[in-house]
Amino acid sequence: MRTVVAGATSPATAGAAGNANGEWPAEGRRIHSCVAKGSSMKPLIEVNQISFSYGQGPSQSVAAFTDVSLRVYPGEYVAVIGQNGSGKSTLAKHLNGILTPTRGDVWVAGMNTKDASCKQQIRRCVGMVFQSPDNQLVATIVEDDVAFGLENLGVPPGEMQERIDEALEAVGMSEYRHRPPHFLSGGQKQRVAIAGILAMRPDCLVLDEATSMLDSFGRAEILAVVRRLNQQGMAIVTITHHMSEVAEADRVLVMHEGRVALEGTPRELFAHPDQLEALGLDVPEASRVAQQVHARIPAFRRDAISVEEVVAEVDRLAGSGGERRHG
Q: Which domain holds residue 188?
A: 3-283
pLDDT score for 144: 94
* Percent of residues in the chain assigned helix, strand, coil, to nearest 5: 40, 20, 45
Q: Which of 271, 324, 263, 280 is nearest to 302 (CA)?
A: 271
136-161 pLDDT tens trace = 888 999 999 999 989 888 889 889 99
pLDDT reading at 274 higher than 70: yes
Do 198 and 59 belong together in one domain? Answer: yes
Q: What is the mean pLDDT of the chain?
A: 84
Do 242 and 299 belong together in one domain? Answer: no
Do 217 and 117 belong together in one domain? Answer: yes
Cβ contacts of 300-307, under 8 Å, gap ≥ 24: 301/18, 301/22, 301/24, 302/271, 303/24, 303/267, 303/270, 303/271, 304/16, 305/12, 305/247, 305/266, 305/267, 305/270, 306/12, 306/13, 306/16, 306/244, 306/247, 306/248
Q: Please compute the mean of the pLDDT values over residues 154-176 and round it to a whole number.
A: 92
Do 290 and 266 belong together in one domain? Answer: no
CA triple 90-135-77, angle to 5 deg: 50
The answer to whether 259 and 68 have CB atoms below 8 angstroms apart is yes
Whether 301 is covered by a domain: the verdict is yes
Number of structural domains the chain divides into:
2
Q: Please compute the mean of the pLDDT values over residues 83-101 and round it to a whole number.
A: 94
pLDDT score for 51: 95
Please indicate, yes or no, whether the overall pTM of this predicted structure exceeds 0.85.
no
| C-beta neighbour count of 108 within 10 angstroms | 26
191-209 pLDDT tens trace = 999 999 999 999 999 999 9
